[in-house]
Chain A
Amino acid sequence: MVPESYYLSLSAVLFTIGVVGVVVRRNPLVIFMSIELMLNAANLALVAFGRRFGNLDGQVVVFFVMAVAAAEVAVGLAIIVAIFRVRRRLSVDDLSLMRW
């Protein structure tokens, strides 16, 4: 049986890649996909912890995270499409309207 620390280390690797992706990329769609990567890394850690303690609560939380991620992606993509309709460009560097 693979120990939990392996899964948690893999989760840390994937989460870090997601964070770097959010910071480095300029395309909002790729940034969104990197956020999905981070959510999945957290889900992996939740399932690993749940197995560690021998109960299923971690898996139920992952189920909720999936539902929230589905809602978040739908709304987020709608916002990106709405921005694209107004600006005709798709770069996060242009979106500085709310900067103080």
Chain B
Amino acid sequence: MIARAAFLVVAAIAVGSALGLILRRNAIHGALFLVVNLGSIAALYLMMGAEFLAAAQVIVYAGAIMVLFVFAIMVLIPGKEEIGPDPHRRARLLALPIGALLFLLLVLVVARRWTGPAAPAAASGTADAVGRLLFTSYLFPFELTSVLLLAAMVGVMVLARRGA
């Protein structure tokens, strides 16, 4: 009962901050809303027993990625491009009914099917357990990730070079 109430509170925070992200004109406000959203998702990970992921979520997403976003927003000084009238307003408003349709589809296909009996004893996602899995069954994808990050790093340097 308490778990359910806690879930509803955190879910309300997550949905509210997500709406704030897409409704506020100012990109900095949107970034701060996204930080709140990422934090609430970290709380949901904790509720599902994924401790390592909750920590990684706060460190990688709310920490590193959002700092990068805020940095880019500060450098680019946006906010001027969404003040004027929108020439494609009618086409953009089509997103609302189509989004509602997509939501109905997702709930009908994915969420409603999973209301069966209770789950088996859930494995706890401690750093120990996840790390063991990461370095045994998922070793090759893990090494590939390092190559991907290296490629991203080199690519960003090439893109950010002056006169590129």
**A residues lining the B interface (CB < 8 Å):** 1-21, 23-27, 29-30, 32-34, 36-37, 40, 43-45, 47-48, 50-57, 59-60, 62-64, 66-75, 77-82, 84, 89-91, 93
* Known interface pairs A23-B95, A74-B153; A14-B18 also in contact (CB < 8 Å): yes
A3 to chain B, nearest CB (A): 7
Q: Which A residues touch B27, using CB under 8 A? A: 27, 29-30
A-B contact count (CB 8 A): 227
Given A12-B103, A77-B69, 11 further pairs, Cβ under 8 A: A12-B107, A16-B103, A19-B99, A29-B72, A30-B30, A33-B34, A40-B61, A51-B119, A54-B123, A73-B69, A78-B156
**B138 with A60: CB separation less than 8 A:** yes
Q: Specify the main secondary structure of chain B where it touches its partner.
A: helix
Cα A43 to Cα B11 in complex, Å, equals 15
* Chain A proximity of B83: nearest CB distance (Å): 10
Could you say which of A5, A57, A64, A74 contacts B68, with CB atoms under 8 Å apart?
A: A74
Q: Judging by beta carbons under 8 Å apart, are A12 and B50 in contact?
A: no
Contact assessment for B65 and A26 in the assembled complex, using a CB-CB cutoff below 8 Å: no
Q: Choose among A16, A63, A74 the residue with the greatest number of B CB atoms under 10 Å from its CB.
A: A63
**What residues of B have a CB within 8 angstroms of the CB of A32 in the complex?**
69
Residues of A within 8 A of B56 (CB): 63, 66
CB distance from B100 to the nearest CB of A (A): 8
